[in-house]
Amino acid sequence: MKLHDILIVGAGLAGMRAAIAAPPDLDVAVISKVHPVRSHSVAAQGGINAALGANDSWEAHAFDTTKGGLYLGDQDAIEAMCREAPDDILELERLGVIFSRNEQGHIAQRPFGGAGFPRTCYAADRTGHAILHAMYEQLLKRRIAVYEEWYVTSLIMEGGACQGVVAWDLIHGGVHAIGAKAVILATGGSGRVFLTSTNAVINTGDGMALAYRASAQLADMEFVQFHPTTLKGTSILITEGARGEGGYLLNTRGERFMKTYAPQQMELATRSTVSLAIGQEILEGRGVDGCVLLDLRHLGRQRILERLPQIRELAIEFAGLDPIETPIPVRPGAHYQMGGVRTNQWTETGIAGLYAAGECACVSVHGANRLGGNSLLETIVFGRRAGIRAAEYARALVPQPLTTDQLAIEQRRVQRLLTQEGPIRAWQLREELGQLMSLNLGLVRTHESMSAALSALAALNLRAAAVTVQDKGQVFNSELVQAFELQCLLDVAETIVTSALAREESRGAHYRSDFPVRDDQHWLKHSLIQRAPEGPALTYEPVTITRFPPK
């Protein structure tokens, strides 16, 4: 069995940043189910936050982040992220990221929702693309090994510590064990738990599920962000940058309806506020064919071509309209998981040798609602921290020979999936799951809707045990991968529904019409969920408050 010092699961921004941060004398490897530059980070559009402006400060950034997250974020972690952000952006630039510039030649910054200052750095509306490609170049330059198109199916646990992974080789077939002194999970989000989602089809919450099965704690899983503006019919993201550049949201009467919901911040209120407002307009009959309109026409041709070229392309190709001349029909869609594998601000989970960073982790910097531009920042700051901390751990560890039979367990699982006969296919259950989650755990939740989801989930889990894989081949068996992913989606859904049902208040992205008010007295605390033999077990943990008392 191959043994690395550090094995990083995930080649998105968090994973590659971690790999680059680890000292070059260590044996570091990255493993990813897709080619690194196809990770979802590539799709990030609007930008990445840092207080670079002369009149801005990291403290102001930390305040906006705390307030935007409805005081559920841990303020020590938020402070670390906002304090380190400016240096990290300059470092990215040195590593080759080409940011858009202002007239003075400095890195340009645009306003984003919930921010008191224009502090979102960007590369037109393709920021993730620009950063991810620069990271990949650095990976190549450092000759860091990449297991490309390998799917991790489980963690190897030995004596309570994580010592590697078991993975399926997509290109050649076969299950293999890969040892590591330290493992960093950087597997991204779980948006595909929902049917209407801005996320790539690969965002199936695998890392969260792997950690959950290994008895790690997940935190705040009920907080799923719905992005206010996704393209009608496709759920493709239309960046907040479109509103940052000055776009309006209109209802069927042509009114800028945000004046009723957030008269000061208007279209740049926080995402949960804007999403709920759009939902309300549609519910009360002021929508346009199940959507509202995002109007960019007044920005003018030149500005749209220069600042929002990709948005224009997407609208032309997928909605058949040119935003220079016609408003874009948009509606909210599942976008981001604020919860994830619980870590401290050095990305350590409760399991020795296991670290987590990026969207799959919950540090927690976003609290109940993430500000746009803070997620890319989180991947960079905490990806770097994960690389540093895991290296310290790996250096000090003397590995013992493994006694676990995890490889044999996974081999039997694959064997069962490939030989089992029957009518149930993974894609069918995946679609049913998405529908049930979008219907019952969307923008507005109730006790009834969530209880219905919980029973439906139990029934889906039973059927999932009987899934058949019709493709019996070894090479690029994408149906087998779907079956693996389905189990992850189901596990993640279980944590979302269980945590959401228990939280009897409304805060940020978790809105309950039966408990419509935020309740700091009882609920200013993190939900922690852990798998126990009798099912998911919930406990709670206080929020770390340093300089901003809840208001």
Ligand X SMILES: Cc1cc2nc3c(=O)[nH]c(=O)nc-3n(C[C@H](O)[C@H](O)[C@H](O)COP(=O)(O)OP(=O)(O)OC[C@H]3O[C@@H](n4cnc5c(N)ncnc54)[C@H](O)[C@@H]3O)c2cc1C
Q: Which one of 11-19, 243-251, 319-327, 543-551 is the stretch in contact with ligand X (CB under 6 A)?
A: 11-19
Q: Are 65 and 73 in contact (CB under 8 A)?
A: yes
Among 19, 21, 45, 330, binds ligand X (CB under 6 A): 45
Buried (b) or exposed (e) across 377-396, using 16+ Cβ within 10 A?
bbbbbbbbbbbebbbebbee
Cα–Cα dist 228/270, whole Å:
10
Among 99, 117, 136, 151, binds ligand X (CB under 6 A): 151
| Residue 429 per-residue DSSP state | H
One-letter-per-residue 3-state SS of 238-254? CCCHHHHCCCEEECCCC
Q: What does residue 414 show for φ and ψ, rounded to 5 degrees?
A: -65, -40
Which one of the listed residues 126, 271, 307, 312 is annotated catalytic? 271
46 binds ligand X (CB under 6 A): yes
Pairing of strands 224-231, 248-250: unpaired
Amino acid at 314: L
Q: Which one of 33-41, 216-224, 445-453, 518-526 is the stretch in contact with ligand X (CB under 6 A)?
A: 33-41
Cis peptide before 272 (omega within 30 of 0): no
As given in the structure block, the two tokens for residue 219 are 């935190």
| Cβ distance to ligand X smaller for residue 89 or 501 | 89
Cα–Cα dist 30/147, whole Å:
6
187 binds ligand X (CB under 6 A): yes
Among 8, 44, 219, 314, binds ligand X (CB under 6 A): 44
Pairing of strands 175-185, 354-356: parallel
Q: Which one of 37-45, 76-84, 314-322, 395-403 is the stretch in contact with ligand X (CB under 6 A)?
A: 37-45
| Cβ distance to ligand X smaller for residue 127 or 506 | 127
Please classify residue 280 by burial: count the beta carbons closer than 10 Å to its beta carbon, then call 0-12 exposed, 13-18 middle and 19+ buried. Answer: middle
Among 121, 211, 237, 354, binds ligand X (CB under 6 A): 237
E strand map for 119-232: 120-121, 145-148, 150-158, 161-169, 175-185, 218-219, 224-231
Among 21, 34, 82, 501, binds ligand X (CB under 6 A): 34
# binding residues, ligand X (CB under 6 A) = 45
164 binds ligand X (CB under 6 A): no
Helix (H), strand (E) at residue 311: helix 309-319
179 binds ligand X (CB under 6 A): no
Q: Which residue's C-beta sits nearest to ligand X?
A: 12
Pattern of binders to ligand X over 111-150, x per CB under 6 A? Answer: ----------------xx----------------------
Report, in Å, the least distance between residue 15 CB and ligand X: 6
| Cβ distance to ligand X smaller for residue 349 or 506 | 349
156 binds ligand X (CB under 6 A): no
Cα–Cα dist 116/130, whole Å:
26
Report, in Å, the least distance between residue 192 CB and ligand X: 10
Q: Which of 397, 472, 404 is nearest to 154 (CA)?
A: 404
Report, in Å, the least distance between residue 84 CB and ligand X: 15
Report, in Å, the least distance between residue 533 CB and ligand X: 25
189 binds ligand X (CB under 6 A): yes
As given in the structure block, the two tokens for residue 523 are 């609920």
420-424, long-range: CB < 8 A, 24+ apart? 420/466, 420/467, 420/468, 420/469, 421/468, 422/466, 422/467, 422/468, 423/468, 424/463, 424/464, 424/466, 424/467, 424/468
Report, in Å, the least distance between residue 513 CB and ligand X: 27
One-letter-per-residue 3-state SS of 514-528? CECCCCHHHHCEEEE
Report, in Å, the least distance between residue 515 CB and ligand X: 28
Q: Which one of 12-20, 268-276, 303-311, 434-442 is the stretch in contact with ligand X (CB under 6 A)?
A: 12-20
Pattern of binders to ligand X over 333-362, x per CB under 6 A? Answer: ---x---------------------xxx--
152 binds ligand X (CB under 6 A): yes
15 binds ligand X (CB under 6 A): yes
Give, as ranges, the residues between 415 and 434 that touch ligand X (CB under 6 A).
none
Q: Are 507 and 321 in contact (CB under 8 A)?
A: no
Q: Which one of 202-210, 257-265, 506-514, 540-548 is the stretch in contact with ligand X (CB under 6 A)?
A: 202-210
- Sequence-distant (≥ 6) Cβ neighbours of residue 269 within 8 angstroms: 113, 114, 258, 261, 262, 277
Strand ordering across the sheet containing 292-295: 224-231, 328-337, 292-295, 248-250
Cα–Cα dist 547/551, whole Å:
12
31 binds ligand X (CB under 6 A): yes
477 binds ligand X (CB under 6 A): no
Report, in Å, the least distance between residue 10 CB and ligand X: 3
Q: Within 10 Å of residue 420's Cβ, how many Cβ atoms?
A: 14
Report, in Å, the least distance between residue 288 CB and ligand X: 23
Between the alpha carbon of residue 442 and those of residues 302, 434, 513, the distances in Å are: 37, 11, 12
Whether 412 is a known active-site residue: answer: no
Among 6, 20, 48, 509, binds ligand X (CB under 6 A): 48
* Sign of the torsion angle spanned by Cα atoms 456, 536, 514, 261: negative
Give, as ranges, the residues between 301 and 330 that touch ligand X (CB under 6 A).
none
Report, in Å, the least distance between residue 147 CB and ligand X: 8
Give, as ranges, the residues between 354 and 413 that touch ligand X (CB under 6 A).
358-360, 372-376, 379
Report, in Å, the least distance between residue 25 CB and ligand X: 25
Report, in Å, the least distance between residue 344 CB and ligand X: 18
Give, as ranges, the residues between 69 and 88 that touch ligand X (CB under 6 A).
none
281 binds ligand X (CB under 6 A): no
**Residues annotated catalytic, as ranges:** 271
Applying CB under 6 A, which residues contact ligand X? 9-15, 31-34, 39-41, 43-48, 127-128, 151-152, 186-189, 198-199, 202-203, 206-207, 237, 336, 358-360, 372-376, 379
